[in-house]
Structure 1
C-alpha cells in the first residue's frame, strides 16, 4: 500500500482508452484484480471522475465510485452518491445524481441516470429546472427524462410544478434546441389580459404547443389554447424550405367562443335589431400564408394571403391596440426581375378592409381599390459625367387594372421620364436641376351604372432646383473636454414646381385629382457643430518590477535584455511607447509580443481637468454635437388672393391667401452625449407676430436600461403643410421612465397628459398611461403591464363616443426558454 500522492497511466487493451490517475493512496487486490484509489481523480477522453473512493477493475473495464462523486463531461457537471461506468463503451449508471448543463444553465436531479453514449443520458424519477435544484421556483417532474447535452431533452409522464403546486400534466414534453430538432411538447404559453371593457376582456390565456419535426425541410407546430372568458381554440403553424432559395409558412388560428356577443355594445353603427340571433356567436379565425422563392439569379416570386374573420380579432387575440389597416382579406402575388440598371415587377393585389371596429358589423369598405393585375418598372442611367458634374436619367411607370366592389373600375398606364443635372458653380456652389413629366391615361366605368364609360389622362410637368454651399470654420482649444470644434453653415435655396393641369375626365368628372399644383420657394439654413473629444493618455514605463514579472513568467531572455535599455523611461502615451518599441526592435515585434509587453508595463493615472499641463492627449473621432436649422417657405400662389387652380386645390393652409410668407420653422437638436439630448421645435407666424406651435423633448439616461424623457407640445390650431401633411391641434405633456433597480428587477412608466382636458367627455388630464414591471430571477421572469387609454367608438346612432380602456397584461417565461409566437403588447 502506498501512502503518498502519485500520478500514473493505465492501459490494458489497445481499444481501451488510456486512463490518467491522480490519487493520494491506492490499494491493489491481486485476487480480485482491482485497484482501490482514495481521494482520487481519473480522466480519459473528455470524462473526468473525482471521488473520495474509486474502485477500478481493469479486466472488466469497470470503474465504480462511492461517497462524494463528481463527473465532468464537456459542459455537463454531475455530482452523485454512486457511480458505475464502463470505460470501454462509455455506458454507466449514476445514482442519487444532480446534473448541471452549463450551456443551457439547466439542472436535472434523478434517483438513477443511465449514460448511453457521449452526452446522452436517460434519467429515472427525476426533475428538470433552471432554478436552484434545492429550492426551485418551478420544475418539471417526470417518470423518465431523456437528456441530450447541447441538443434537446424530453420527458414522459411529466408534471409542471410552480412553487410546488402542480399546474399541468403532459404525457410527453420536449425542449428542442438549435443543434437538433425533436418532436414533442414545447413549454406552455401564459398570458393574462384583463380589460375594463367586457368585449376586450380575455382573462388568463394558456397555450400548450406541440412541435412536430417532419423532416429537415418542414415542421409543424400545433397549439391548444384555452382562454378563460372565451373558451378553447387552436393554432397550426406549418413552415417549409423544400429547396434552396425557397421558404414559406402557413398559419391558421381559430377560437370557439362559448358565450354570445352583446348586440347593444358590439354592433357599431348598426342597429341591434339588425343583428340576427344566429350571428351573436361569430366564428373567430385567422389564416395567413407567405411564400418567397428565388426563380433564378435575377428573379423572385413572393406571394401572401391574410384573412381575418372579424374586425376585433387583431385587437383581442393579437393585442394590436389600433389595427391599421383593419384587414378582412389581403391577397398578393409579386414577381420581380432585376437588371443591371433597373427592375420590372408583375403584381396583383386584393385587399378588403372592415368598415369599423365592431365584431358584429362585418361590413366591408366597398370603395377600397384592388389592383388586378399591375406591371411596374424603374430604370436609371448616368448619361454624362465630367469631374463633379453629372447628368442622369430615369424612367419609371406602371400599367394597372383596378377594381372596386362599389364605384368606378378601370385600367390605366402612367410613365414618368426624369432628368437630373448636378454641377458646381463658381467653385463654391453646388447646383442641382431636376425636371420630369408624369404622363398618364385611364379608362373607367361603373359596372352598376349603364353607360358610365369614361376616360381621363393628363401630362403634369414638375421640376426642382437647388443651389447650396457650405461655409465652415474650425476652432481649437488647449484645454477642456473638446479639442476641436467645426461649425458648418449650409444655406440652401430651393424651388419646387408642379404644373397646374386640369384633371377631369372626358365627361367632366374629376377623376384622379391627387396631384396639386405647387410653386414653392424654400430657404434652409442648416447649422452643424462638429466636435472632437480630447482623451488624456496615461503615462507608461517599464520598471524593474515589470522585468522581474517577465522573468518569472519565462519570457524570452533576449527580449528582456533588450528591454533593459528603456528601463525607467516614462513615455507620455501608449502610442509613444509602441513607437519606442518599434525603434528599439527595428519593427520586428509581432502584435502579440507588443500586447504582452504592454501587459507588464506600469501605467499612470488619468489627470484631473485642472491639472492637464504637459499631459499627452489624443483626439477622438469627429461627431455631431448640435444642429440648428431654420426653414422658411414662400408660397407664390398666395400672392394672388384671387388665384384658383384649374386642377386640384393647392395644399397648405398655414396662412391666408394673400400671405405668401409661411411660418418660420426652427429646429434645434443638442446631443452632448449618447445618454442626453434636447430637441426643440417652434413655428413662428410672421403675420401674427408670435410663435403658434412649439415642442420640447428632453431625454436623459445613465445607461441603456436607466433612462427618462419628458416632452411638451403646444399647437394652437390644426393646419396642413404645403406638402399635404395634416397636423392636429394639441396641448399635451408626455413623460416616460425606465429604471433597472438590479439585475433582477426593472420597472417603467409612461403617459400623456392632456392640458386641455375640458374638451373631452371624461375631462381627464391623463389621456394614456402605461406601467410595466419586469422581475427576472435566475430561472424565470415575469412581466406585468397595466395600460389605460381613452378610446373612441361609434354608437349605433352614428355618433362617436369616448370610453376608457384599462388593460392588465401578465407574461410568464420559465427558465429563459423563449416561447414561439408569444404575443406581447408593445409598450415602447
Structure 2
C-alpha cells in the first residue's frame, strides 16, 4: 500500500511545476526549465476580461518537452488561480499518464482534485484509480474508492481496494475497508490499515520468510531495517529454527562516495545439534566432510570495504571468518546465506568470497596505486584454515604481513630497440608455530623484438632473478639465517601471422577473416643447487610449439545503413582453435622415454545466436588416452528456451578418475507456462549431486512458481506467488 499512498499530487497548472507523482521523489509534471515557455493550442482560445479568465476549447494541448496536458475544455482564472479542465482530461510526463473526466486545480494553494481519475506509473507499471483523487494540503492526499493494480485491462486479475485512503507524504496513511481481490472477488479483508507513506528510506520491519526443512525444522526469518542516516543503514535478522535454535544476524552498510563504501555482516547461532562422531550426531554431518564439528557456537563474519586514499591510492579490505567447515554449507540459502551474500558483494564490490566448501579462507588488506606503466600493491594477507583452527590442531595459518609488489609493464629502454619489464616482491611470512621469513625478490627482463622481412617475428629475452631470504628460527635451530640466490632464464619466441579475407553475404556478414598464428617458444632455466633454500625454481629446457586459428566476421552495425565509415562495422570472433604441445629436452637428455608433454587443445565457437560451445582437453600419446577434457555448451532460441550442458573428465592416475555432468534447462511450454530443471551427477561416486524440477506460470501482472529440489539428502518443495509491483510470498518445505 505504500506505493498507492505516494502518487496523488495533482496538476498545479502551466506556471511553475505541474502534477508531482512523488513516487521516488519524481514529479509527473516537472518544470525542468522555467525559461522554456508552455505551448498552448486549441481550436478556440479567448480571454474574458471581466472574469479575468482564459478559455480554451476543442482539443486543448498544453505542452513543454515531453510533458502534455490534453482536455476538451480548459478555463483558467488569473485572479483566483483556479484552472478547470474537463472532457477526456489526460496528463502525460516521462511515460506516466493521469486520466479523468474533469479536474479542478488551485494553483495558488497547490491543491486540486480530479474525478474518475486513473494514474499509470510507467516505471513499475502501476495503475491507481479512484472516484475522486484530491490533494488537500501541501503533502496531504485523499482518494475515495481507490483501486491499485499492475494488471492491464478493465477486469484485472488482482486489485487492492479501499473505500477511503488518506496519505501524508513523509508521514503515514490510512486505508478504510482494505481488500485484496482476485478477479473482483475479495480474498483478504482488513477494516483499517495504517501504513508509512515515505519516499525516503525508513526504519521498520521487512517482509518475513517462512519455510521448513529436515535439518532445520520449521523456519521463520524476520528482518528489521534501520535507516541510520543518508549515507548508512543496517538490517537485523531473527532466524528461528525449531530444530537448531535462534540465529541472529546483522548487516551494516555505508556509502560516502562512489569509491568509498563498505558492508559488514555477522551471524551467530548457538546450535542445538553438533557433529561429534557419536551415532546420534551422524544426521548433522555432511557427505563429503571428513572432519567433525563439535562446536555449538557458530558464526560467520564477513566484510568488504573500498576506500579512496590521498595521492591516488586506493584501499580494499576483505574479511571472511567462519566458525567451522560446515557453516556455509548448512546456511547456503536464505537472507543471510552464502548465495545471497556472494551475489551482493560481487554486484556492489566486484569481488566475492572463496567457495562455500573451501576450508581455507583468505582475508586481506590491500593498498594499491596504478601509474601509466607501473603499479604498486601492498597487502596484508591471512590464510585461515577453518578445520585446523576448529580441531585445535597446531596453528599452521600462514600470514603475509606485509606482501608488497612493484611491477612495471613492458616498455622501451630510452631510444634503444630494447624493451624491459619488471616483477618485484617483498613479503614477510610467518606461522605462529613455525618459521618467520623475510623474502625479497626482483626479476627484471629485457627483450629485443626483431622482424624478419615482415614474415617472421622473433623476440629473444633474458631475465635475471635475485631472491634474498632472512629466516628466523630456521627449522629446529635458534640461529637466524640469510640466504641469497641468483638465477637467470632465457626465452625466445618465434612466430608468424597468416591471414586471408573471404567475401561473404549472409546474415548481414560482409567479410570473414581467418588468421593462423604458428608459434615456437623456447624457455631455459639452468639447474642450480637449491637444497638449502626454502623454495625451488625447477630447471627447465622446454620447447613449446602451438598453432592458433581464429575466424572473425565483419558486418554492418545494426543502426548503420551505409558503408561510408569504418566505425559503423561490428567485428565478432566467432571461432577460435588452438593446439599446443611441449618437448622436454631435459627428459630427452636424461633418457626419459616420455619427453613429450600431453597435447593441449581448445575450441571456442560463438556465432552470436542460438548456441555457443567451449571445449578443452589434454591427451597423452604414451597412454593413448585423455588426461582430462571438458565441454560446456549453451543453446537458446528466440522463444526464450535455454539449455546448458557441462561435462568434465579428470584423471589423476589410472585408478583415480573423476567424471561429472551438469545440465540446466529452461523450456517455454507456452507463452505463459515454462518448465525448468537442473541436474548434476558424479560418475566416480555413482550418485546424484543435486536436481531441481520446477514450473512457472507468468501472467501479465503475476506469476506462480512451483519446484522440487533434492540436494545432499535434503528434499525441499517450494511454492511462490509473485504479484508484480508488490513482491512475492509463498512457502517451502
Evaluate the alpha carbon distance shift between residue 271 and residue 119 of structure 1 in structure 2; reply closer, same or farther with a 3 A threshold.
closer
Match in the other structure for 1:323: 356
Q: Secondary structure at the match of 2:598?
A: strand
Partners of 1:109 and 1:18 in 2: how far apart? 29
Judging changes above 3 Å, is the alpha-carbon distance between structure 1 residues 325 and 6 closer, same or farther for their aligned structure 2 residues? same
The answer as to 2:687 corresponding to 1:750 is: no
Write the distance in 1 (CA, Å) between the matches of 2:376 and 2:452.
Answer: 37
Q: TM-score, normalised by structure 1?
A: 0.64
TM (normalized to structure 2)? 0.71
Given the superposition, is the C-alpha separation of residues 446 and 345 from structure 1 closer, same or farther in structure 2, using an over 3 Å criterion?
same
Indicate whether 1:183 and 2:224 are aligned: no
Q: Equivalent of 2:56, from 20, 25, 39? A: 20
1:286 is matched with: 301
Classify 1:810/1:344 alpha carbon distance in 2 versus 1 (closer, same or farther; 3 Å).
farther
State the distance in 2 between where 1:259 and 1:20 align: 77
Q: Give the Cα–Cα distance (whole angstroms) in 1 for the partners of residues 393 and 181 of structure 2.
A: 46
1:20 and 1:374, CA in 2 relative to 1: closer, same or farther beyond 3 A?
A: same
Q: 1:70 to 1:494 in 2, by over 3 A?
A: same
Answer whether contact 1:354 1:364 (CA < 8 A) is retained: no
Report SS of the residue matched to 2:454.
coil
- Label 1:8 to 1:476 Cα distance change in 2 as closer, same or farther (>3 A): closer
Q: What residue is the counterpart of 1:301 in the other structure?
A: 315
**What are the within-5 Å matches in structure 2 for residues 596-611 of structure 1?**
none
Tell me which residue corresponds to 1:412.
Answer: 439
CA separation in 2, counterparts of 1:44 and 1:687? 80
* Offset, 1:703: 3.4
1:323-342 equivalences under 5 Å are 323=356, 325-326=358-359, 332-342=364-374
CA separation of 1:806 and 1:436: change in aligned 2, threshold 3 A: farther
Work out whether residues 325 and 357 of structure 2, in 8 Å CA contact, stay in contact via their aligned partners in 1: no
Q: Secondary structure at the match of 1:523?
A: strand
Structure 1 equivalent of residue 328 of structure 2:
314
Q: 1:104 to 1:712 in 2, by over 3 A?
A: closer
Counterparts of 1:25-44 in structure 2, within 5 Å, are none
Output one character per residue of 1:730-756: Cα deviation in whole Å (capped at 9) or x when no partner.
4445443323456654443333444xx
Residues 326, 777 of structure 1: alpha-carbon distance in 2 compared, 3 angstrom cutoff: farther
- The count of residues paired between Structure 1 and Structure 2 equals 647
2:308, 2:265 → 1: CA distance?
21
TM-superposition CA deviations, 1:671-710 (whole Å, max 9, x none): 4553234555554433345666555555432238323244
Distance in 1 between residues matched to 2:422 and 2:99, nearest whole Å: 72
1:511 equivalent among 517, 534, 551: 534
Contact 1:145–1:153 (Cα < 8 Å) also in 2:
no
Shift of 1:424: 0.8
For 1:210, the equivalent position in structure 2 comes to 225
Query: 2: distance between equivalents of 1:283 and 1:305?
Result: 17
> Any unmatched runs of 5+ in structure 1?
24-40, 536-572, 580-618, 643-656, 721-726, 790-802, 823-828
Distance 2:656 2:160 in 1: 53
Q: Which residue of 1 aligns with 2:264?
A: 251
Is this contact kept in 1: 2:55–2:75, CA < 8 A? no
Partner of 2:23: none
Distance 1:460 1:621, change over 3 A: same
Q: Deviations over 1:98-130 (max 9, x none)?
A: 433233322335576432589984547856543
Matches within 5 A, 1:422-437: 422-437=449-464
Deviations 1:290-339, CA, capped at 9 Å, x for gaps? 1412323x3223334444444444330424495154577x6543333344
Between 1 and 2, higher relative CO (CA 8 Å, sep ≥ 6) is seen in 1
Other-structure match for 2:724: 815
Residues 460, 483 of structure 1: alpha-carbon distance in 2 compared, 3 angstrom cutoff:
same
User: How far is the alpha carbon of 1:426 from its aligned partner?
Assistant: 3.7
Q: Structure 2: which 5+ runs fail to align?
A: 1-41, 343-354
CA distance in 1, matches of 2:535, 2:269: 45
Measured against aligned partners, the alpha-carbon deviations of 1:200-229 in whole angstroms (never above 9, x if no partner) come to x475554445352623xx131434444454
Q: CA deviation at 1:444?
A: 2.8
Indicate how the Cα distance of structure 1 residues 710 and 252 shifts in structure 2: closer, same or farther if over 3 A, else same: closer
> Residue 54 of structure 2 contacts residue 77 of structure 2 at CA under 8 Å; is this kept in 1?
no
Cross-structure match for 2:550: 528
The 5 Å alignment of 1:19-168 reads: 20-22=56-58, 48=69, 70=89, 72=91, 74=93, 76-78=96-98, 84-94=104-114, 98-109=118-129, 113-115=133-135, 121-123=141-143, 128-131=148-151, 135=156, 137=158, 139=160, 144=165, 146=167, 155=173, 164-165=187-188
> Is 1:639 the equivalent of 2:588?
yes
Distance 1:777 1:175 in 2: 30
Among 591, 595, 598, the alignment partner of 1:660 is 595
When structure 1 is superposed on structure 2, of 522-531 and 134-143 the one drifting more is 134-143
Question: Take 1:413 and 1:11, find their aligned partners in 2: how far apart are those partners?
Answer: 91
Matched position secondary structure for 2:449: strand
Q: CA deviation at 1:468?
A: 0.8
Q: CA 1:534 to 1:335, structure 2 compared with 1: closer, same or farther past 3 Å?
A: closer
